[in-house]
Structures are given as structure tokens and as C-alpha cells.
Amino acid sequence: MSLTIGKYTVPYPVVQGGMGVRVSGAKLASAVARSGGIGLVASAGLAVNSPHFNGRNYFTADPLGLKDELEKAREFAPDGVIGVNCMVATTNYDDMIRAACEYGAQLIVSGAGLPMNLPGLTADYPDVALVPIVSSVKAAQLIARKWHKGFGRLPDAVVVEDPDTAGGHLGEKMENIGSGEYDQYATVRGVKSYFRDEWQLDIPIIAAGGIWSREDLEYALEQGADAVQMATRFVPTEECDAADAFKQFYLDCDKEDIGLIMSPAGLPGRAIIKNFEKVRQRDVELNVSCPSNCLRKCSYKEGRERFCIVHALDRAQRGDVETGIVFCGTNAWKADRIETVQEVFDDLFPQAATSASADAVNQ
């Protein structure tokens, strides 16, 4: 049941999803790595709540913030596998990819756009595994052809994200989400077949979105996935880097509180929406101008439409869930307690937990 991506193997087929801004930092990523999965530090917006940030030097502080998180994660999980999630939509994407490699990331997971130039950015670090996020076979094909032709490289794994269930920014048009037409596991199998048939390559295809329980994980594996990516389940844990109020927002939300928003990045996003009007109203009342230029394309930067996404996410992560955006997947309402990351793994893999307990008794 182990998972191998590139040169790195972990005991369990679980990748912790990247959650910006600082929701998945060093504490969460290292806890997942210690428990036998792959932990991801989300690179988006690390500058904002960083000792390196003076309010004006976002692009200087951002890679330094990533350096801090990767160093702490490695200290907390010296033997674990730690990667970085990087959003293609960010203005400093290229710099953050290079910083991730320089500061020790073992793999890079990249979505919120197609990471067409990722192999070129990581060419000096051949041991760093490259994992694009897609929602269609066509996207996987485009990436593979571009990477092979331009860089002589193919993905080490692919994440197939279900826009109908996943949290945060979604790689699908708003009108297509929830239509009932998307079949995640048909896409998983299609991507797997494509790499086998076209490239004679057997790489892990990782299902993301809607994975909460052991039953969800087992179903994903039965349907052809080699592993799962989980994010929402790891928010209500002791080790999650978000404030207690952020985690409590999960515990207090109902199924009806979860919905779609249109991000100023031009992408739909799934969040807890019961506070959404206050998010927009705050920026309007304070006449907030674009403080960071964090996104390549941003309707707030260009015309004051919607709200400032990086600071709305930052406020929530720090505990302001009244005017901050709390991203989540469709299963966030299932959270009913704060648990540890190890308890999540024990729930997902009970046989391993039982075996470990038996070994401890026999020692």
C-alpha cells in the first residue's frame, strides 16, 4: 500500500493537499510526513504573515517565508517526504518554484493553471519530483506533450482533482461545476491509460477531492487511483497551521454553508460562504487597494472587483473568520472534533494502527 513518486517512497498512499495562505505550513506538512504520508507546504501568500514582510516587499519576503517553512518542516520530520504546492496563477510562480527546489522540497505539486514550464524551472534539480494537477485527460495530454517536447521530461505522478468536491481554487468553469457530468474516476482511469498507452509509463495517479473517510480512500483505490490527496480532513487537527477559530469554523459549519465563490483570480473556489458578504464589504469600506500584486490576473487589482484574495485568506488563517475567506471541500461539515494527524492516519489505516499497538505491547 506504499506510494512512490519519483525517488521518494512513503508507507501510505496519502498526499496532504496544499492549502494557502499558511493553512498547510511546516507543522501540518511535517506531521503528515511523520505519519507516513507526503506533506505539502503551500507556497501561496507565505510573505504576508512573515517576519520578512514590511508591507511593501512581498516578492522578497515570499521565498524567504517558504525557506523558513521548509527548514522547520525538515527539522520536525527529518526522515519524511516534504513537498511544496505552487499555484500557477501567482505572479511570482517561477521564483517560488526555484525557491522550493533550492530550499529542499522533494516534490512540487502544481495547479491553478497548467504548469507548462515546470520542468524548465526545475532543470537544475533533477531529483525533485514533478506532479501537475489536472481535471481532465486533455489537460494531462497537453502537459505531457509540452514537457516531453520542450524538456525531455514527463510527470512523476498526476493529481486528478474533482471540481465537484474539492476545496479552494478549482480548475473548471463555474457553470460546469455540480452539473453531474464530471466523472472523477473515469478521468483517473483515462489519465492512467494515456500514460501507459502513449508513453509506456506507469506513474501514480492520485485522486483529489471528496476524500474524507477510510471508505472514501478504499473506494478511490478500487476505482483505479494509486493514492489520494486529502486537505479538508487535515484542517481540524491539532497540527494544522491555521488558528483555532479557523478550525472551529469547520466544526460549526453545516452542509448548506459550503458553496462556490468566484475568486478574483478568475477561478471558482469552494469555501464556507456564510460570511461572504462581509469579506467583500470590508475591502469596499476600507477602500483597500491591491497591496501585493500576488496574482498574475486579478479582478481586484485591475478594477476593484470582488475582494483581495491573499489578505482575505490571511485574515482567516489568523483567526478572523468574520471577514476572512475559509476555503474547504464539500466534506468540511463532517468535522466534529479536533484530532491529531496520527489519529487521522489510524482511522484511514486501522490495520497498521493495530499492528503498531501490538508491536509496542510486545517490546
Q: Identity (one letter) of the amino acid at 273? A: I
Both 15 and 105 in a single domain?
A: yes
Both 129 and 108 in a single domain?
A: yes
Burial letters 311-336, b for 16+ CB under 10 A, else e: bbbbbbbbbbbebbbbbbbbbbbebe
Indicate the number of domains in the chain. 2
Q: What is the pLDDT of residues 33-63, one digit of tens each?
A: 999 999 999 999 999 999 999 989 999 999 9
142 φ/ψ sector (left φ>0, alpha ψ -120 to 50, else beta): alpha
pLDDT reported for residue 351 = 86
Q: How far apart are CA 125 and CA 102, in angstroms?
A: 8
- In this prediction the pTM is 0.94
pLDDT reported for residue 146 = 98
Q: What is the pLDDT of residues 174-206, one digit of tens each?
A: 999 999 899 999 999 999 999 999 999 999 999
- Band of residue 286 on the pLDDT scale cut at 50, 70, 90: confident
CATH number at residue 47: 3.20.20.70
Q: What is the pLDDT of residues 223-272, one digit of tens each?
A: 999 999 999 999 999 999 999 999 999 999 999 999 999 998 889 999 99
Q: How far apart are CA 351 and CA 331, in angstroms?
A: 24
Both 180 and 203 in a single domain?
A: yes
Both 261 and 238 in a single domain?
A: no
Both 66 and 199 in a single domain?
A: yes
Q: How far apart are CA 14 and CA 38, in angstroms?
A: 6
Both 203 and 292 in a single domain?
A: no
Hey, is 248 helix, strand or coil?
helix
**Residue given cell 475568486 in the structure block:** 263
Both 56 and 118 in a single domain?
A: yes
pLDDT reported for residue 355 = 62
Could you tell me where the beta strands, DSSP code E, fall in 319-359? 326-327
Q: How far apart are CA 134 and CA 113, in angstroms?
A: 9
pLDDT reported for residue 290 = 74
Q: What H or E segment, with its residue span, contains residue 16?
A: strand 14-16
Residue 280 has pLDDT above 80, yes or no: no
For residues 194 and 146, the answer to whether their CB atoms sit within 8 Å is: no
Average per-residue pLDDT for the chain: 94
For residues 77 and 38, the answer to whether their CB atoms sit within 8 Å is: no
Both 186 and 314 in a single domain?
A: no
Both 203 and 234 in a single domain?
A: yes
Both 22 and 152 in a single domain?
A: yes
pLDDT reported for residue 298 = 79
* Domain residue limits at 254: 246-327
- Band of residue 301 on the pLDDT scale cut at 50, 70, 90: confident
